[in-house]
Amino acid sequence: MVFWRKKNNASEQEREEREDKIIHHPREPALEVSTENDSPSEKEPSFETEADILDDLESSPVPHHRPLEDAKEAEELSDHSEEGGWLSRLTKGLSKSTGRISSGIGDLLTKAKLDQDALDRLEEVLIEADLGPKTAAKVIEQFAQGRFGKDIDEQEIREALAETIAAILQPVARPLVIKKPENGPMVILVCGVNGAGKTTTIGKLAHSYKFGPENHIAPQSVMIAAGDTFRAAAVEQLEIWAKRTGSPLVKKDIGADAASVAFEASARARKEGTDILLIDTAGRLQNKANLMEELGKIVRVLKKQDESQPHEVLLVLDSTTGQNAFSQVEIFKEMVNVTGLIVTKLDGSAKGGVLVGLADQFGLPVYAIGVGEAVEDMQPFNAKEYARSLLGLGH
């Protein structure tokens, strides 16, 4: 089985049904229920067997991408001279929790053959990293192909599983490309649920664009807009980040219309020839229709300044979030056409494994990760290193 991207010929529902079937282990008891009291006339079509399901999957259309292939290609093409450094922070954070992962995999050493037991345990490692039951099953399924029953040692298992995961993530490990339009600022709108790390991320982004070495870009002029006009002291908080990064701040009083703050900031940035405008927004839960509508309004108002605005819409995701991240991405994307993700708090014990499923389902780029609370604690997302860290491997 391979990870497939959204296809027009396979409806969402079909896809979900299929996914649902493969989450069950072949080892699990068959769906044999008693029919002793059933009359012959109520025979229903029998349940599909695991084999049927797998057959089904084999015959599914060829995906646009074969992540494994993609990954290898990208690996060959990419420049490795700049790597290292950022990972130490991430690995430091992950190391605590990878202890358990390592020992879990360590147990596999005693078994020479990759058997179902070993796969089950690997799957559990992934589930505990927040991949979710369905994605974990898919990954393991993909991983097991061609390896099942083969002699394989611990190192190989880890390397191979990391490669499988990296392959899924590789297509989304893309940096945010800075491209200032001719006649105005590049506008970046930052949104997400409450407490995800939006404001801190804005501080980090401002820092990296102004002082740019990590992005290998020329220093840019940055302006910040205080679009969170709701939360207590949100403006004061952003004010401190603006000062820290030496960026001008456009703000209004608490309770003001967030869209009008964005509109004015956009106008001022154009007038002053600013390169990049970062717009903060209030945290909002994606199921609050009125608040989502308010976000939509910010976008509409920006388009009145310039149809191309906002050029990027970043969704900030907290890595401690579990499966709800799917709902977040789905709804924010629908409402304001999110162009990329930033995943925060990866310096903690949470591993943010939900990213794997998100990459598969939405394919949105992961522009950067947050690994601390200071301005410099933001790093590019590196699929390979992230996958290896997830499995307790060094780089």
Partner 1 sequence: MFESLSQKLGNVFGKLRGKGSLSENDVMAVSREIRVALLEADVALPVVKEFIESIKAKAIGQNVIKGINPGQQVIKIVHDALVEMLGSTTQDLRFGAPPSAYLMVGLQGSGKTTSTAKIAKLLSEKHAKKVLMASLDVYRPAAQEQLKQLGEQTGIATLSIIEGQKPLEITQRALETARKEGYDVVMLDTAGRLSIDTELMAEVSAIQKMAKPVETILVADAMTGQDAVNTAKAFDEQVGLTGIMLTRVDGDARGGAAMSMKAVTGKPIKLLGMGEKWSEIETFHPERIAGRILGMGDIVSLVERAAETVNTQDAMKMAEKFKKGQFDFNDLLAQMQQMQKMGGMGAMMKMLPGLSGMASQIEAAGLDDSILKRQEAIISSMTLHERENPDTLNASRKKRIAAGSGTSVQDVNKLYKQLQQMQTMMKRMKKMGAGKMMGMMKNMMGGKADELELMAKSMDPDGLGADMAGLGDMSSGLGPNPFAGKGNPFGGKADLASLLSKGKK
Binding region for ligand GTP (CB under 6 A): 192, 194-200, 228, 231, 234, 283, 344-345, 347-348, 370-373, 377
Q: Give the Cα separation of 251 and 225 in Å (integer).
A: 6
Q: Shortest Cβ distance from residue 330 to Mg ion (Å)? A: 22
User: Which is nearer to ligand GTP, 102 or 324 (by Cβ)?
Assistant: 324
Spell out the residues 6+ positions from residue 271 whose beta carbon is closer than 8 angstroms to its own. Answer: none
Window 220-249: residues binding partner 1 (CB under 8 A): 230-234, 236-237, 239-241
Interface stretch with partner 1, choices 103-111, 112-120, 221-229, 349-357 (CB under 8 A): 349-357
> Could you say which of ligand GTP, partner 1, Mg ion, none residue 349 binds, taking C-beta under 5 to 8 angstroms by partner kind?
partner 1
String marking each residue 305-334 x if it binds partner 1 according to CB under 8 A: -------------x-xxxxxxxx--x----
Spell out the residues 6+ positions from residue 171 whose beta carbon is closer than 8 angstroms to its own. Answer: 65, 67, 70, 359, 363
Q: Give the Cα separation of 63 and 5 in Å (integer).
A: 6
Contacting residue, 39, 81, 183, 290, with partner 1 by CB under 8 A: 39
Q: According to the binding rule CB under 8 A, does residue 185 interact with partner 1? A: no
Contacts of residues 297-304 at CB distance under 8 Å and 24 or more positions apart, as own/partner, are 297/258, 297/259, 298/189, 298/227, 298/258, 298/259, 298/262, 298/336, 299/189, 299/336, 299/337, 300/259, 301/259, 301/260, 301/262, 301/263, 302/187, 302/189, 302/262, 302/263, 302/266, 304/263
> Could you say which of partner 1, Mg ion, ligand GTP, none residue 271 binds, taking C-beta under 5 to 8 angstroms by partner kind?
none
Window 86-115: residues binding partner 1 (CB under 8 A): 93, 96-97
Q: Give the Cα separation of 150 and 295 in Å (integer).
A: 53
String marking each residue 368-387 x if it binds partner 1 according to CB under 8 A: -----x--------------
Q: Provide the token pair at 284.
A: 């909002």
Contacting residue, 54, 127, 160, 249, with partner 1 by CB under 8 A: 127
Closest of 190, 368, 191, 210 to residue 274, by C-alpha: 210
Q: Shortest Cβ distance from residue 321 to ligand GTP (Å)? A: 12
Q: Provide the token pair at 211.
A: 């002082």
Determine how many CB atoms are found less than 10 A away from the CB of residue 39: 7
Query: 153 near 377, Cβ under 8 Å?
Result: no
Q: Shortest Cβ distance from residue 199 to ligand GTP (Å)? A: 3
User: Which is nearer to partner 1, 47 or 300 (by Cβ)?
Assistant: 47
Q: Shortest Cβ distance from residue 163 to ligand GTP (Å)? A: 27
Closest of 394, 391, 363 to residue 125, by C-alpha: 391
> Could you say which of partner 1, ligand GTP, Mg ion, none residue 233 binds, taking C-beta under 5 to 8 angstroms by partner kind?
partner 1
Q: Shortest Cβ distance from residue 371 to Mg ion (Å)? A: 19
Q: According to the binding rule CB under 8 A, does residue 345 interact with partner 1? A: yes
Q: According to the binding rule CB under 5 A, does residue 199 interact with Mg ion? A: yes
Q: Provide the token pair at 314.
A: 């970043």
| Residues engaged in binding Mg ion (CB under 5 A) | 198-199
